[in-house]
Structure 1
């Protein structure tokens, strides 16, 4: 029996989405999405390459958020791929609207002290501090327990949801994004619990 040639395992940033093709069979795309998610989370943590964490943080910029959306946005929230999509969506929003995020976080942090502590945002929570925090959270995909990453992101989203609700009450203006942010927080926390039990796949 001939020996199979040895291939170096693909790591994040090394053509991670090479299998993604527009118009491909949805089932094959989902399989590729799941494989890419597992590689990103499990492979990054196993790597001794110091640059992996930075590639993980900036994945949406190097690959394009629309590529991540095509790959992962249809994945269930209680899956590895679905959790990753929500993390990158959260990071993208923080970097696109840091002043808005800072105002909402500031409004909510007094009313959600436990979540504020878990999120681990510098005090005072300005725009740059929030961008640094969300990048640090994503770096954790490669360098720390993935459940901790999800719990921190969930806590952050929870504080923002509380802040949005408070600002909405103050302005008497309906804000349809409050339930969505709260749902995001709940989904990330549920994914963290699954990860703790070794059931997030």
Structure 2
């Protein structure tokens, strides 16, 4: 599915920097929309695997921090908010590869749904395989069916939520504070899963902002 969107307005970097630090929420919202749709359309039109991979790899560096600072403020009903959530899942896997792989393995055993199959992770879950999985999910936003990618990302987030909940149960007995932290993490993953499910529906019916 495609979406007609206003052609992005190219702005000088000084204007961009000013908007990021400004108190003008409407300007920031407009720029978040323009940058997210421009990125999606540009990469899809080129369809160059090297360019797609470079877009994915910015999740490992600081090159997109200013843009994602804008995207992070956006609703999950918008493309900017959706892309921020996909980048966030990737950044978490980079920041804590061992912990992410452990939560995914725990969640896959616990969840009792087809979500691990939908995600399609290699077995057994390792830091390397989960990093590659998050790469494939993020890459899918720029090639193929975005709706299917969001379904897959939502399934991944549900597995992670289940894993965090299971580990929270284990840790509550020995370290209540850590157990509470993991319970909060499980809630956040579950929230992202619901948001991505909703975004997939909006992408398919043409109402993603």
TM-score bin (small chain): 0.7 to 0.9
Q: CA deviation at 1:171?
A: 2.1
Matched with 1:36 is 35
Matched with 1:50 is 49
Cα deviation, 1:120-149, whole Å, max 9, x if unaligned, reads 111111110000010111111221111111
> Is 1:191 aligned to residue 199 of structure 2?
yes
Q: CA deviation at 1:71?
A: 1.6
Closer/same/farther in 2, CA of residues 199 and 102 from structure 1, 3 Å limit: same
Matched with 1:26 is 25
> Residues 140 and 146 of structure 1 are in contact (CA less than 8 Å); yes or no, is this contact kept in structure 2?
yes
* Structure 1 range deviating more: 32-41 or 56-65: 56-65
Cα deviation, 1:141-173, whole Å, max 9, x if unaligned, reads 221111111111111110010011111112223
> Residues 20 and 29 of structure 1 are in contact (CA less than 8 Å); yes or no, is this contact kept in structure 2?
no
* Structure 1 range deviating more: 105-114 or 60-69: 60-69
Closer/same/farther in 2, CA of residues 101 and 62 from structure 1, 3 Å limit: closer
Structure with a larger share of its residues in helix: 2
Matched with 1:3 is none
- Structure 1: tracts of 5 or more residues without a match: 1-8
Q: CA deviation at 1:178?
A: 1.4
For the residues of structure 2 that align with 1:197 and 1:39, how far apart are their CA atoms? 20
Matched with 1:114 is 114
For the residues of structure 2 that align with 1:200 and 1:114, how far apart are their CA atoms? 26
* Structure 1 range deviating more: 185-194 or 46-55: 46-55
> Is 1:67 aligned to residue 63 of structure 2?
no
Closer/same/farther in 2, CA of residues 126 and 48 from structure 1, 3 Å limit: closer
TM-score (norm 1): 0.85
> Is 1:143 aligned to residue 151 of structure 2?
no
Q: Size of the alignment, in residue pairs?
A: 189
* Structure 1 range deviating more: 107-116 or 180-189: 107-116
For the residues of structure 2 that align with 1:125 and 1:94, how far apart are their CA atoms? 12
Q: CA deviation at 1:69?
A: 3.3
Cα deviation, 1:76-111, whole Å, max 9, x if unaligned, reads 011100001111111000011010011111111023
For the residues of structure 1 that align with 2:168 and 2:65, how far apart are their CA atoms? 30
> Residues 83 and 188 of structure 1 are in contact (CA less than 8 Å); yes or no, is this contact kept in structure 2?
yes
